[in-house]
Amino acid sequence: TMVAIAPSSAMPLQACQPVIGGQQYDLTALEGPVFITVGPETPSGFKYVYQLQLCRDISKPMIPQCVGSACQYMNSANEYLYLASVSSWSRRPYPVWSFINPSDPTEGIVLTSENGDMCGSSGFRRQMNFFFNCSTSRPTSIQVLSDSVANCPAPGLSCCYNFQITTHLACPTNGGNPIGPSSPLQQQQQPPVYGGGSVGPFRPPPQVQGGGGGEGEVRWWG
């Protein structure tokens, strides 16, 4: 089941209250913080830095050119160099909600957007999958799973991104009580499908362990 976010003056509120498969979700509690997180090391030996805000576009961007819900930077000599907007909650085509695994809603939900800045001269817009993994035991955490996805429709360019947050708000409920995942997070069986706003019936990606140099690190901004 996929749910397109309808345009509205109350966009942030509606954006984070999707109904998927007859199940009402409310992620509005995640709206406030602005996150700074670091992606995995690239083959060239550096890491991209991302500024993110959930349920709305970034209210306090590090650099004015950042317009969207996820912006990519390069850290050079302790200065942030703006590269691109990866995603937006308010730009058309609007992001789309779906289950990570339609046969097991307890794995969580995923937001897919195809409305980032243009990817060079490829003709493709930057695309993002944001996995909201259901967890009733882990504290809420956010991280970059990949910023160089192999099946990106812009060959040879790193313009597709996978982010992940673990939260009980992504769990289905029964009588108001969250239902935890029926099995631990497992290695995904097939990669996300980019293009056309669709996401395949895949398992969520594995947890990425924080490593040296800030990988997996999350900081607050503003």
Q: pLDDT tens, position by position, for the chain (222 residues)? A: 434 343 333 344 468 999 999 999 999 999 888 888 888 877 777 788 999 999 999 998 988 889 999 999 987 777 888 999 999 998 999 999 999 999 999 999 999 999 999 988 888 899 999 999 998 887 777 888 888 777 777 666 678 899 999 999 999 887 667 777 765 554 333 334 333 333 322 223 333 222 223 333 333 333
CA distance 125 to 153: 9
Q: What is the pTM of this model?
A: 0.76
Distances (CA, A) of 189 to 114, 171, 180, 200, 202: 23, 21, 21, 10, 6
Helix, strand, coil % over all residues of the chain, rounded to 5: 10, 35, 60
Report whether 185 contacts 164 (CB < 8 A).
no
pLDDT in tens, 118-154: 988 888 899 999 999 998 887 777 888 888 777 777 6
Extended beta strands in 58-193, E state: 70-76, 79-87, 96-99, 108-113, 127-134, 141-146, 160-167, 173-174, 177-178
